């Protein structure tokens, strides 16, 4: 989908894959990477949203490939990798796609429903990370950023047990693979933010009472999450996990 304004010399330089990049945090990360000089593979289950994000990236003068598909499906994962190779990569993978179980949560949700949530939030990032390891190694190394959640941290009750369990697993998965930096030249890192001030969260925040807002941490500006992601890509240590809580400085757990 490249336009004449795209800097073709960038195609063989740096390429990032961002899943769930059609909307929300994924789109903000994709745009941040484009501003930093990356060509972007915009992967999203909503192909129309992926293409719209791709056009925004091209407006920044960077190449983009929009891939509509489900990151839980092997054929779609292979199409993502093919698109990254077409742009000369991959050099960066951001496993951002995720979400709660629609309509009902464990234990009310049927096994297939909550298992699909675990697959989206944990198994898919594991599979896609495994898929890009060899190509990244061939490119001289790379970085993988897993987007977890504060829902995977702590010991209190949580509204979606399967989502919390998957995000906790993603955090531990990241820390367990600090050695990839030595074995493959690939640094895997993780960001675990609390409530991010995206459109839906802003709407929910406005509906809360003043007492409810006072009892809650402030929303995290999306730009702050993007900044942490970019810092990790530039200089983060493999195996690092960054907790982000509204109103506080990020907490970095490094190996």
HSE (side-chain half, CA atoms, 13 Å) at 71: 33
Question: 52 phi and psi, to 5 degrees?
Answer: -65, -40
**Cα 149 from chain centre:** 11
Q: Are strands 15-19 and 92-95 parallel, antiparallel or unpaired?
A: parallel
Active site residue 163: yes
Residues making up the chain, counted from first to last: 255
HSE (side-chain half, CA atoms, 13 Å) at 158: 20
Q: Determine the Cα–Cα distance for residues 187 and 230; give it in Å rounded to an integer.
A: 13
Question: 124 phi and psi, to 5 degrees?
Answer: -60, -45
Q: Determine the Cα–Cα distance for residues 4 and 1; give it in Å rounded to an integer.
A: 10
Q: Determine the Cα–Cα distance for residues 195 and 209; give it in Å rounded to an integer.
A: 17
Using omega within 30 degrees of 0 as the cis cutoff, is the peptide bond preceding 217 cis? no
Residues annotated catalytic, as ranges:
163
């Amino acid at each position: 989908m490249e336009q004449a304004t795209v800097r073709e010399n960038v195609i063989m330089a740096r390429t990032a894959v961002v899943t769930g990049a059609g909307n929300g945090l994924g789109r903000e990360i994709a745009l941040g990477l484009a501003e930093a000089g990356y060509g972007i593979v915009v992967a999203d289950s909503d192909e129309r949203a992926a293409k719209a994000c791709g056009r925004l990236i091209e407006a920044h003068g960077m190449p983009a490939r929009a891939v509509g598909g489900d990151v839980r499906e092997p054929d779609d994962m292979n199409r993502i990798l093919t698109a990254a190779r077409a742009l000369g990569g991959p050099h960066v993978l951001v496993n951002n796609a995720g979400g709660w179980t629609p309509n009902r949560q464990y234990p009310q949700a049927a096994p297939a429903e909550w298992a699909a949530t675990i697959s989206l939030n944990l198994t898919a990032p594991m599979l896609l990370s495994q898929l890009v390891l060899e190509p990244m190694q061939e490119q001289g190394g790379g970085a993988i950023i897993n987007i977890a959640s504060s829902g995977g941290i702590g010991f209190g009750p949580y509204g979606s047990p399967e989502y919390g369990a998957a995000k906790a697993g993603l955090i531990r998965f990241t820390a367990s693979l600090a050695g990839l930096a030595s074995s493959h030249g690939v640094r895997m890192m993780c960001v675990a933010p609390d409530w991010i001030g995206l459109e839906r969260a802003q709407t929910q925040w406005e509906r809360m009472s003043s007492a409810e807002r006072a009892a809650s941490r402030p929303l995290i500006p999306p730009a702050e999450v993007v900044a942490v992601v970019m810092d990790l890509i530039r200089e983060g240590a493999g195996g690092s996990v960054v907790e982000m809580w509204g109103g506080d400085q990020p907490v970095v757990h490094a190996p």
